[in-house]
């Protein structure tokens, strides 16, 4: 059995300040160790329950966060960015998917590091008129591949707002409970490990017994993106398939989620380029 894992940082336990999240951050090494330990727990429990191949997509920021020394030989680790389909690269051909360290969508009240895909450029994302988190965005892509999301571990608010609403078959494990954008509480790693192992075991049972479903977006896929700046919408509008609906908002239609995801990723990369240009001009 082949299982996919996407690993983010903002929903990891104890990760609460910007210094946890960047390559030069004061507490980045601490965050890397936490994310690696959480990932290795999930990997080990998946293997104990029948996953003989595991693909792990390192999916935060520059996507080189996980420490590689203890990665088992049956794991393929995908690192680096940019890459096709970003946070879900490598999910093709997998039987089930897990999301670790996931967080709430942009604008969520009292939720650590709330954002959707790119805090720099994106204010809001809708798919078929539903506002999405990274969980839904990535889950819909896995649905295109007929890969069910069997477990999400991360911020409690994401689990309550999105996972239980849109994918009630999915096992959930709260790694933190946010008190605000820059604060959260988490239990000791011993307790977290027990809860995560139990959740992974249940998730694998659900998968084997065909109780897990795929998240499927209606086709064609209509995506609307509200950017943080009109600069970014200016760049996005250059793409012929994109329609601008107001100063910061664009929309486009794609044949499926795979196509929609790639266009969205391109628009975010374009926004990063525009941001770099404007910084050079200051």
CATH code assigned at 261: 3.30.1360.130
Among 160, 176, 208, the domain-final residue is 208
Q: What pLDDT, in 10s, does the model give residues 124-178?
A: 999 999 999 999 999 999 999 999 999 999 999 999 999 999 999 999 999 999 9
Give the C-alpha distances (Å, rounded to integers) separating 60 from 172, 182, 274.
20, 18, 21
φ and ψ of 124, to 5 deg: -160, 140
Among 183, 208, 233, the domain-final residue is 208
Residue 200 resides in a domain: yes
Residue 197 resides in a domain: yes
Residue 122 resides in a domain: no
Measure the CA–CA gap between 275 and 210, rounded to whole angstroms.
Answer: 46
The model carries a pTM of: 0.97
Among 175, 208, 241, the domain-final residue is 208
Measure the CA–CA gap between 91 and 59, rounded to whole angstroms.
Answer: 13
- Residue 99 shares a structural domain with residue 236: no
- Residue 146 shares a structural domain with residue 262: no
Residues 98 and 88 sit within 8 Å (Cβ to Cβ): no
Give the C-alpha distances (Å, rounded to integers) separating 199 from 111, 149, 204.
23, 13, 9
Residue 261 resides in a domain: yes
Residue 201 resides in a domain: yes
CB-based burial of residue 110 (10 Å sphere; 0-12 exposed, 13-18 middle, 19+ buried)?
A: middle
CATH code assigned at 84: 3.40.50.10780
Question: Could you tell me the two tokens for 95?
Answer: 């039987």
β-strand partners of 177: 185
CB-based contacts of 188, cutoff 8 Å, min separation 6: none
- Residue 28 shares a structural domain with residue 93: yes
Residue 128 resides in a domain: no
Q: 9: pLDDT confidence band, cut at 50, 70 and 90?
A: very high
- Residue 157 shares a structural domain with residue 267: no
Q: What pLDDT, in 10s, does the model give residues 82-132?
A: 999 999 999 999 999 999 999 999 999 999 999 999 999 999 999 999 999
DSSP states of 211-271: --------SSEEEEEEESSHHHHHHHTTSTT-EE-SSSEEEEEESSHHHHHHHHHHHHHHH
Question: Could you tell me the two tokens for 10?
Answer: 């903002």
pLDDT of 44 reads 98
- Residue 245 shares a structural domain with residue 106: no
Measure the CA–CA gap between 114 and 125, rounded to whole angstroms.
Answer: 13
- Residue 160 shares a structural domain with residue 106: yes
Domain that holds residue 23: 2-115+134-208
- Residue 87 shares a structural domain with residue 189: yes
* Total tally of structural domains belonging to the chain: 2
Question: With the C-alpha atoms ordered 76, 85, 129, 148, is the resulting torsion angle positive or negative?
Answer: negative
Q: DSSP secondary-structure letter at 36? A: H
Q: 193: pLDDT confidence band, cut at 50, 70 and 90?
A: very high
221 Ramachandran zone, left/alpha/beta (phi>0; psi -120 to 50): beta
202 Ramachandran zone, left/alpha/beta (phi>0; psi -120 to 50): alpha
- Using alpha carbons, select from 147, 139, 145, 201 the residue that is nearest to residue 173: 201
Question: Could you tell me the two tokens for 228?
Answer: 């943080």
pLDDT of 191 reads 98
- Residue 82 shares a structural domain with residue 44: yes
- Residue 94 shares a structural domain with residue 231: no
Residue 80 resides in a domain: yes
- Residue 182 shares a structural domain with residue 265: no
- Residue 139 shares a structural domain with residue 35: yes
Q: What pLDDT, in 10s, does the model give residues 222-281?
A: 999 999 999 999 999 999 999 999 999 999 999 999 999 999 999 999 999 999 999 999
Residue 129 resides in a domain: no
- Residue 61 shares a structural domain with residue 174: yes
């Amino acid at each position: 059995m082949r299982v996919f894992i996407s690993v983010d940082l903002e929903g990891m336990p104890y990760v609460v300040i910007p210094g946890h999240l960047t390559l030069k951050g004061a507490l980045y090494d601490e965050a890397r160790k936490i994310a690696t330990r959480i990932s290795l727990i999930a990997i080990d429990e998946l293997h104990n329950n029948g996953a003989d191949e595991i693909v792990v997509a390192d999916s935060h920021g520059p996507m080189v966060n996980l420490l590689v020394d203890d990665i088992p030989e049956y794991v393929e680790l995908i690192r680096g960015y940019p890459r096709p389909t970003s946070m879900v690269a490598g999910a093709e051909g997998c039987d089930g998917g897990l999301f670790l360290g996931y967080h709430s969508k942009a604008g969520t009240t009292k939720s650590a590091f709330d954002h959707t895909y790119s805090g720099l450029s994106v204010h809001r994302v809708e798919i078929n008129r539903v506002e999405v988190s990274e969980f839904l965005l990535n889950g819909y892509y896995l649905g295109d591949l007929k890969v069910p999301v069997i477990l999400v571990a991360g911020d409690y608010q994401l689990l309550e707002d999105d996972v239980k609403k849109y994918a009630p078959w999915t096992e959930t494990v709260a790694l933190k409970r946010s008190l605000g954008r820059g604060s959260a509480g988490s239990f000791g790693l011993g307790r977290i490990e027990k809860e995560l192992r139990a959740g992974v075991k249940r998730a694998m049972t659900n998968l084997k017994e065909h109780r897990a479903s795929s998240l499927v977006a209606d086709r064609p896929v209509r995506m609307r993106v509200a950017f943080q700046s009109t600069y970014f919408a200016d760049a996005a509008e250059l793409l012929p398939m994109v329609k601008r609906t107001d100063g910061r908002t664009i929309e486009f239609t794609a044949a499926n989620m795979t196509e929609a995801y790639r266009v969205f990723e391109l628009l975010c990369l374009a926004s990063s380029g525009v941001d770099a240009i404007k910084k050079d001009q200051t």
